[in-house]
Amino acid sequence: DGGITQSPKYLFRKEGQNVTLSCEQNLNHDAMYWYRQDPGQGLRLIYYSQIVNDFQKGDIAEGYSVSREKKESFPLTVTSAQKNPTAFYLCASSIVKGSYGYTFGSGTRLTVV
Amino acid sequence: DAKTTQPTSMDCAEGRAANLPCNHSTISGNEYVYWYRQIHSQGPQYIIHGLKNNETNEMASLIITEDRKSSTLILPHATLRDTAVYYCIDADAFRANNLFFGTGTRLTVIP
């Protein structure tokens, strides 16, 4: 079945370390997105990409970096510059134009201690 | 800032219809109404979307008012597994990066 996979589901890191969250999709979607969700809050857009080798900053890109070397993959790196990295991170994908909406992964819960 | 307004929370008895309202008074002509839901600690799940006609699928029905300024998501026979946060979003389907997820409505289905 087609879908979007995030790994790992839970991740623990020490403060000051960079960490990379994986996101893979086999839906043949051109666009991919990274969101952050804090407890009781909505989703905030970190980065998005509409095509391979191109990506744009979202509303809260500071302290994060991404790459889009393959259509299927959109990894997110949480750097030591991110002041409050502990959060629930969600990856999504979609076709670029069309009304079909987004498909989300199951999320990665990152805890920095 | 959110372009839609939803109640913070609602309760519904198991087996009854759950009617979730949404106001989107600033919706433009080319924007669709999307509904997603998020069960605790999972990614949001697409439910349904519509432009101006009412829509129905295996999960829910979407009723959009004639002036398109509001809509109602209907879960015809709510089950305990429908307990989730429901997001109403208006977005241009032909632009990427256009879904804004606010805080939604927390629906609790009561046994």
Ranking A24-28, A108-112, B2-6, B65-69 by mean pLDDT, the lowest is: B2-6
| Residue among A97, A101, A107 minimizing CB distance to B43 | A107
Beta-strand ranges (E) seen in A8-63 are 10-13, 19-25, 31-37, 43-51, 54-57
A26 residue type, one letter: N
C-alpha distance from A10 to closest chain B C-alpha (Å): 11
Q: Using a CB–CB cutoff of 8 Å, tell me whether B102 touches chain A.
A: yes
Using alpha carbons, select from B94, B92, B73 the residue that is nearest to residue B82. B73
The per-residue pLDDT of chain A, averaged, comes to 92
| Residue among B45, B51, B102 minimizing CB distance to A42 | B102
CB contact at 8 A, A47 and A64: yes
pLDDT, greater one: A42 or B77: B77
Q: Hey, how many other C-beta atoms are within 10 angstroms of the C-beta on B39?
A: 13
Backbone φ, ψ for residue B82 (5° rounding): -85, -5
Q: Using a CB–CB cutoff of 8 Å, tell me whether B98 touches chain A.
A: no
